[in-house]
Amino acid sequence: MQIKIANGVQIEQHLSEVIDLSNYDFSANFSLKGIDPFTLEVVFNTYEEVVEVELYAELKVTLECAYTLEHFAHPLTLNEVITFNFKNPNIENESDDAYFEKGPLIDLDPYVYALILSYIPLKAIKPGATRPTGGKGYEVFDEDEYNAKKQTVGDEFDDIFAKLDIEED
């Protein structure tokens, strides 16, 4: 979706469009496997040097469960405001919440994609999935179990090393 920077001040410009981000590469995020097409509602205000863009969308993403590796649909609500400056190319160094876009057209898709990524949990867990306890050649511990096991393993090796005659200089 693109918006056009108008000349002068213009308030409450509305756009709505179906966005399809399926052609984006999701490999950088281990949990994200897909984004269903969704309707993006945009309200933007153009001022002398700035365009303030309000974004709203309800969408579904496909995530991979960290426990079971099953794919599942996860709903997201995107409700954000982005500010673009079209006069000052150094605005990104001067402000944390504004982006430079030369214009006159601003492509919102990369910004929307980045915002969606910020909503994706690092460890997606399918509702109802439980942490595995182990399998062939591995065990899964919580922190307390790990610390208890670590001390036991250390004691076994401490006994072996205690029998060695090691001279220290």
DSSP assignment of the chain equals -EEEPPSS-EEEEEEEEEE--TTS--TTSSSEEEE--EEEEEEEEE-SSEEEEEEEEEEEEEEE-TTT--EEEEEEEEEEEEEEESS-TTHHHH-SSEEE---SEEE-HHHHHHHHHHHS-SS---TT-----EETTEE---HHHHHHHHHHHHHHHHHHHHHS-----
Model pLDDT, residue 27:
84
Per-residue pLDDT reduced to its tens digit, 104-161? 888 889 999 999 999 998 889 999 888 777 778 777 777 887 777 766 655 555 556 6
CA distance 63 to 81: 25
Per-residue pLDDT reduced to its tens digit, 14-55? 889 999 988 888 888 889 999 999 999 999 888 878 888 899
Q: Which residues pair with 16 in a beta bridge?
A: 41
